[in-house]
Amino acid sequence: GIQVEQSPPDLILQEGANSTLRCNFSDSVNNLQWFHQNPWGQLINLFYIPSGTKQNGRLSATTVATERYSLLYISSSQTTDSGVYFCAVATFTGGGNKLTFGTGTQLKVEL
Amino acid sequence: DTGVSQNPRHKITKRGQNVTFRCDPISEHNRLYWYRQTLGQGPEFLTYFQNEAQLEKSRLLSDRFSAERPKGSFSTLEIQRTEQGDSAMYLCASSPSGRPNTEAFFGQGTRLTVV
């Protein structure tokens, strides 16, 4: 099956700093989503981005499908950005658009 | 619509007992998925339904696990004869099936602890 790798695994930032999270995947995808998992375990949708670039406030994401990677940018980070960020993909050959998740990036934003 | 809803949020059970979880998807979504997440890992796919039909099951889904979606609306996941290794967060998601947008949305999860 498809492999999804995220980097870095852990990241500590000072409030106000910018960061870039990366997601590499091993096959063509028809769905790519970025999630933020809050301390209570809920997965919050950030972006649905199988290709192209999107922006939402301080967050933006870019997926280069032909090169099999996606980037999540966080600007002017805040303590509320802390948590685990997951990239998840679904493939054309996979059934039902089920998602395969990476192992996540654990982000901590400090004052 | 308030999104995907899961009940209960937390469940503590003794080893060997049976447990059942419920998921109510977003009403217009005809696909429903179950995932399991253990500590420090990303969620792993268990099974999915399109309407009431269960179309795929992961090899992670042992014969002690069964899922249903009887009328194509809510779904239940039952674990029989629970084991300590079943302790995990069980997540439900739903999505539309048609292109162009198949974005999945997740519920709050049910955290199972087997003692």
Of A41, A101, A102, the CB nearest to B89: A41
Whether A2 and chain B come into contact, CB under 8 Å, resolves to: no
**Lookup: tokens for B43:** 């969620």
Higher pLDDT, B98 or A47: A47
| CB atoms inside a 10 Å sphere around CB B89 | 20
d(CA B68, CA A86): 28
- Closest Cα in chain A, distance from residue B96 (Å): 10
Burial class (CB within 10 angstroms; exposed 0-12, middle 13-18, buried 19+) of A17: middle
User: What is the pLDDT, as a whole number, of residue B49?
Assistant: 93
Query: Among A40, A97, A101, whose Cβ lies nearest the Cβ of B43?
Result: A101
Whether residue B100 is predicted with pLDDT greater than 70 in this model: the reply is no
- Residues of chain B positioned with their CB less than 8 A from the CB of A97: 31, 95, 97, 102, 104
Which chain A residues have a beta carbon less than 8 Å from that of B31? 96-97
Mean pLDDT score, B11-31: 96
**Is there a contact between A71 and A51 (Cβ–Cβ < 8 Å)?**
no
Q: C-alpha angle A15/A81/A79, rounded to 5°?
A: 40
Asked if A42 and B103 come within 8 Å (Cβ–Cβ), the reply is no
Q: What are residue B93's DSSP bridge partners?
A: B33, B106
Mean pLDDT of chain B: 93
The pLDDT of residue A93: 62
CB-CB contact of B95 with B104 (8 Å): yes
At B1 the pLDDT is: 55
* B42, B102, B108 member nearest A101 (Cβ): B42
How does pLDDT run across B33-82, given as a tens digit for each residue? 999 999 999 999 999 999 999 999 999 889 999 999 998 899 999 999 99
Q: How far is A84 from chain B (nearest CA, A)?
A: 10
Dihedral sign, Cα of residue B78, residue B61, residue A102, residue A90: negative
| CB proximity A98 to B under 8 Å | yes
Query: Is A78:A15 a contact under the CB 8 Å cutoff?
Result: yes
pLDDT at A92: 67
**By the CB < 8 Å criterion, does A1 face chain B?**
no
Say which residues have a Cβ less than 8 Å from residue B67's Cβ, sequence separation at least 6: B34, B46, B47, B49, B54, B61, B75, B76, B77, B78
Give, for all 111 residues of chain A, the pLDDT tens digit.
Answer: 899 999 999 999 999 999 999 999 999 888 999 999 998 899 999 999 999 999 999 999 999 999 999 999 999 999 999 999 999 998 766 567 889 999 999 999 999
What pLDDT shows up at residue A46?
Answer: 98
Cβ–Cβ < 8 Å for A5, A23: yes
Burial class (CB in 10 A: 0-12, 13-18, 19+), B22: middle
Query: Rounded to whole angstroms, what are the CA distances from A10 to A43, A45, A63, B40?
Result: 18, 20, 21, 12
Closest Cβ–Cβ partner in B95, B103, B106 for A43: B106
Give residue B101's pLDDT band: very low, low, confident or very high (50, 70, 90). Answer: confident
Q: What's the start-to-end Cα distance of chain A, in Å? A: 41
What is the phi/psi pair of residue A81, to 5°?
A: -80, -10
Pairing of strands A19-25, A4-7: antiparallel
Task: Work out how many CB contacts closer than 8 A connect A with B.
Answer: 65
